[in-house]
Homo-oligomer: A and B are copies of this chain.
Amino acid sequence: MSGRLTVVGLGPGDDRFLRPRRAKRLRAQRPSMATGPILDRVPVREGQARNPSGNRVEGNRARAALAHAAQGAHVAMVSGGDPGVFAMAAAVCGEIEDGPEAWRALDLHIVPGITAMLAVAAKAGAPLGHDFCAISLSDNLKPWELIERRLDAAATGGFVIAFYNPISTARPWQLGQAFARLGRHLSPTTPVIFGRAVGRDDEAVTVTTLDKAAETPADMATLVIVGAPETRVIPREGKAPLVYTPRMAATVSA
């Protein structure tokens, strides 16, 4: 009896982002258990245990899924975006490393998804057209000083920066502080994109500048992209502006 755990990223928004390969996997594997916070996006199957769970307690969720798979079950664990980017795949690997030897023998499949920064970038133009980085602003799992050091490194290195987990009720000040920190290195007119719920019916993309970014509303469903010095904004009459970062970088700035 060989168990299997498939960690599937559903991409942002609705099932328009569910690729055939993922849909097929979810069908073909006949998972005896499905778990994740967005189970309503997974087709219901008779006889299948369904464990909806929140975004928190990732370790518990991963252990439960692994233990179930180790008993021979085929478990599908679903989440939005890409499971490898600030999400469940790393939590599962961590539990495998710390767990019983049998968990290493499990069939583990990770199926990638469109992560939020790619979806927001496509809506706005091509802000990630040149070297870029992704930083989680959550200081639950790392000290704020480390985040500040990374902000400094990213800004002085000339990277475009995507912020995941920009803000929450428990972390209300971090995003504003991050903008202020970047303001030490970047021009006040640096383009900043707020993409909320992209791929859903209520999606909203806002383009502003670094000096006004702290006034723009954001929540946990928001992905923020801060441009590099090369990032450009093209105004368009009657349309949203296009934001892009050219691949060309002719000069080394200090």
Give chain A's interface residues, CB within 8 Å of chain B: 11, 15-21, 82-87, 89-94, 96-97, 104-105, 108, 110-115, 118-119, 121-123, 125-136, 141-143, 145-146, 149-150, 152-154, 156-159, 232, 234-239, 242, 244-252
User: With a CB–CB cut-off of 8 A, which chain B residues contact A18?
Assistant: 19-20
Number of copies: 2
Q: In the complex, what distance in Å separates the CA atom of A97 from the CA atom of B230?
A: 14
Point out the residues of chain B lying under 8 angstroms from A17, CB to CB: 19, 21
Given A126-B89, A129-B84, A242-B93, are A249 and B110 neighbors across the interface (CB < 8 Å)? no
In whole Å, how far is A129's beta carbon from the nearest beta carbon of chain B?
A: 3
**Measured CA separation A89–B234 after assembly (Å):** 14
Q: What are the residues of chain B within 8 A of A119 when measuring CB–CB?
A: 112
Q: Are A252 and B146 in contact (CB under 8 A)?
A: yes
A242 touches B96 (CB 8 A): yes
Whole-angstrom distance from the CB of A55 to the nearest CB of chain B? 13
The complex places the Cα of A242 from the Cα of B119 at a distance, in Å, of 27
The 4 closest A-B pairs by CB, nearest first: A90-B129, A153-B157, A133-B133, A93-B244
A16 CA / B17 CA spacing, docked (Å): 13
Q: In the complex where A85-B128, A90-B247, A129-B84 touch, is A237 in contact with B105 (Cβ < 8 A)?
A: yes
Closest to A104 in B: B236
For A20, the chain B residues whose CB sits under 8 A away are: 15-16, 18-20
Bound complex: CA A114 to CA B153 (Å): 27
Roughly how many angstroms separate A18 CA and B103 CA in the complex, as a whole number? Answer: 32
Kindly list chain B residues whose C-beta atoms are within 8 Å of the C-beta of A16: 19-21
Partner of A85, one of B87, B118, B251: B118
Are A93's CB and B126's CB within 8 A? yes
**Which chain B positions have C-beta within 8 A of A130?**
86, 90, 136
